[in-house]
Amino acid sequence: MPSFDAIGVGSEDRQLLSSISSWSLGLAGVLGLLGVFALVSPWAAAGVVDAVCGFSLIAAGLSQLAMSAGTFTWRGFWVGLFCGGLSIVAGTGMLVLPKAGIEALVLFLGLVMLFEAVAKLAAAFTIRGGFPWGWLLVDGVVTGALAAVLLTCKPAEAGVLLGVFVGVNLLSTAFTCAAAGLWMRRADRLA
């Protein structure tokens, strides 16, 4: 394993990388706990995701309406007003009809995870040096497989799949963060 000196990191950057290592390991622990929670109670995790998205859409809509009210002479006033109202309706719908909100989230999350998988796989093949790129490769493959299942699932399975797949994705990312943090710690000891 190369040391920090071998990969071009000077002594002034070692403290920063040590801090990043600690944060990576801490983040791995938090993501791991959240992943286990989501796997143990997938419907609760799906409900939490739905509620957070619903409240976020309502807050975004209210913000857009407030901006529109303050800029009523602006050319984009009507677009801002329309988008703000639409966001409030969508957020309210997610809170009032959580099953439909969860189904919509499954489709959206499947698309997001598909793009995330492509980004992780591209990064894994780009940084093949000393970094634990193998974990990033596995993380990208797992994320891509999860995206494929989400995008092809039946609506009745959406809630369980959303909770389980969010949990698996959180655990996969936790392992990647832990591997990166441990790699930085070992490289620091060799320096």
For the stretch 159-185, pLDDT in tens is 888 888 789 889 988 998 898 888 888
Please give the average per-residue pLDDT across 22-28, as a whole number.
Answer: 90
pLDDT tens-place string over residues 56-115: 999 999 998 988 888 877 777 888 888 889 999 999 999 999 888 888 888 888 899 899
DSSP secondary structure, 95-150, as one string: HH-HHHHHHHHHHHHHHHHHHHHHHHHHHHHH--SSS-HHHHHHHHHHHHHHHHHH
pLDDT confidence tier of residue 12, bands split at 50, 70 and 90: low
